[in-house]
Amino acid sequence: MDEPWIELLNSDWHDFRSQGPAEDRLESPQWVGGFLAQWKLSPRVVAAKSTRIGLGELRSLLKRLVLTIAEGQRPHPDDLETLNAYLAAGPFHCRLQYMPEADRVYYLRMEPVRENLRTTLAHIARSFAEVLVAGDPARIKLCENPDCRWVFYDRSRSRTRRWCEGASGCGNLLKVRRFRERQKKKRGKPPSRSTRRD
Ligand SMILES: [Zn+2]
């Protein structure tokens, strides 16, 4: 399951098949509405332009942190401080939920006492901070396809995933490309020595 921080980062979308079309999904109120609804974040702030600006600023911060962490570098103290400023929004209260149909049966959710843009951004920032604390920062990666650079969390057992996921993801695309290149080479190859007539 992806987390809101990953989805926010990848909202800066570009077509990985070429250097072609790109799209900042934050510019679409419809996308922003779907994103917030999916993560059960405050739907009342969707329409506001300030929401999209706020999400964009958080995205820039997360991008800087992810690039640094994915390279195995130490995050810049200023960036950590800015992240902490997002986390400081509140107040929140804890709510225990019983969800037998989900991955885990019990969920402890932090819910804002009053929903607003600050608490919405805090929720996304916390989803990232939790991965650093409870997950493995070394699993945060960028797709190695230079046309893609999609951010993902490598959940493979061997931690060796290099491409973004999915049937339409880069791993599959590059597999097809490599296959075609091999086929082309085969076709273009001169006949082998044993069959050549000198
Ligand atoms: Zn990719």
Domain boundaries, the chain: 4-188
The whole model's pTM is what? 0.80
CATH architecture of 4-188: Orthogonal Bundle (1.10)
**Strand (E) or helix (H) holding 153:** strand 151-153
Distances (CA, A) of 38 to 2, 32, 41, 160, 161: 11, 10, 8, 29, 26
Tens place of pLDDT per residue across the chain (198 aa): 468 999 999 998 877 666 667 789 999 988 999 999 888 887 666 667 889 999 999 999 999 999 999 999 999 999 999 999 999 998 889 999 898 887 778 988 888 888 889 999 999 999 999 999 999 999 999 998 888 888 999 988 998 888 887 556 787 766 777 777 788 877 775 554 444 444
- Ligand 1 centroid distance, CA of 144 (Å): 7
Max Cα–Cα distance, the chain, nearest Å: 86
Distance from Cα 21 to the centre of ligand 1, integer Å: 15
Place of tokens 């951004």: 121
Q: How many Å lie between the centroid of ligand 1 and the Cα of residue 186?
A: 27
Query: Rounded to the nearest whole angstrom, what is the distance from the C-alpha of residue 121 to the centroid of ligand 1?
Result: 26
Alpha carbon dihedral 155, 178, 23, 75, in 10-degree steps, equals: 40
How far away, in angstroms, is 75 Cα from ligand 1 center? Answer: 24
Query: What is the whole-number distance in angstroms between the Cα of residue 172 and the centre of ligand 1?
Result: 9
Cα dist from 52 to 13, 16, 32, 90, 164, whole Å:
15, 24, 7, 20, 25
User: Which pLDDT does position 126 carry in this prediction?
Assistant: 93
**What is the spatial distance between Cα 6 and Cα 106, in angstroms, rounded to a whole number?**
23
> Which pLDDT value is given to residue 196?
43
Q: Is 61 helix (H, G, I), strand (E, B) or coil?
A: helix
CA 106 to ligand 1 center in whole angstroms: 33
- Give first-to-last CA distance, the chain, whole Å: 61
Q: Do 16 and 173 touch, CB atoms closer than 8 A?
A: yes
Give 142 Cα–ligand 1 centroid separation in angstroms.
8
Backbone CA torsion sign across 27, 38, 81, 93:
positive
* Neighbouring residues of the ion ligand 1, judged by CB less than 5 Å: 16, 143, 145, 148, 150, 164, 170
41 Cα to the center of ligand 1, angstroms: 27
pLDDT reported for residue 4: 93
Handedness of CA 83, 141, 152, 101 (dihedral sign): negative
Ligand 1 centroid to 40 CA: how many Å? 27
pLDDT of residue 47: 67
The DSSP symbol for 104 reads S
177 Cα: distance to centroid of ligand 1 (angstroms)? 14
